[in-house]
Amino acid sequence: MANQIVKWEVKNSIGTITLNRPEKRNAINGEVLEGINKAFSELSVNSEAKVILLQGAGPVFSAGIDFNHLAAVAQDDGRAAGVHLRESVDAIQTILNRIERVEKPIVAKIHGFCGGLGLELALTADFRLASESATLGVPEIILGIIPDCGGTTRLTRMLGPAWAKELIMTGDMITARRAYEIGLIHRIFPDSQLEAETNAFLTKLLQRPSLAIGLAKRAVDLGVGLEKLTHLEIEGLVQSLLITAKDFPETLKKGFATLLKK
């Protein structure tokens, strides 16, 4: 299924979401956000889609927020100053938070420019794979604003405050190689190999038990910021669900067969 500006489909157990606004460098406006929200909502409950791939059509992943959209939401609407903007930011944050909670592995395939809200979108993925020529960053500070849809939060949790401050406070775009070195992306490939290597990574994820991989994701995400004993309790609860699942004996049998081949 697809709409004009965000496409999505399911093929070979992979749900693919494509930002499809190449003439605008996949800049994100209200229509794109609506399409992204719809696509992830559909694929999160689609039993055929075991993993989700997020990508951009054309020469870049995403240039970030569409400045026409930013100008529109920045205008006051007769209420107290800033209320309209804060509500708009909250709506975007809600969509990104919902994406992050999908109990399926999400892989962002990044090429070209990936900045601002485009990077904040990619940060909701579990894995970020990039081409060597990609550049990543949050340049909002140059415009006198901050990345407000996960830039200061997810970047800090992912990289630590030192690297988050450097990216946010300089506004510099960094190379894929540098992004890999500081832990912003998981894999880096020659441009010509990005497609094939991403498919290989998706195939590996498809070979893992869906229930276990989804609950492992939730256990990790829920445990961030918790004290150790509570996080350990979450592990135990998740494990009890997995081991008592009806198909666990067959899953275990297949898993041992896979391990014996290694």
Q: Annotated active-site positions, please?
A: 120, 140
CA atoms in the 13 A half-sphere facing the CB of 62: 30
Instruction: Give the tokens for residue 24.
Output: 């605008």
Count of beta carbons in the 10 Å neighbourhood of residue 153: 15
Count of beta carbons in the 10 Å neighbourhood of residue 183: 11
Instruction: Give the tokens for residue 91.
Output: 């709506």
Q: How far is CA 233 from CA 211, 223, 229, 248, 257, in A?
A: 19, 10, 6, 21, 30
CA 138 from centre of chain: 15
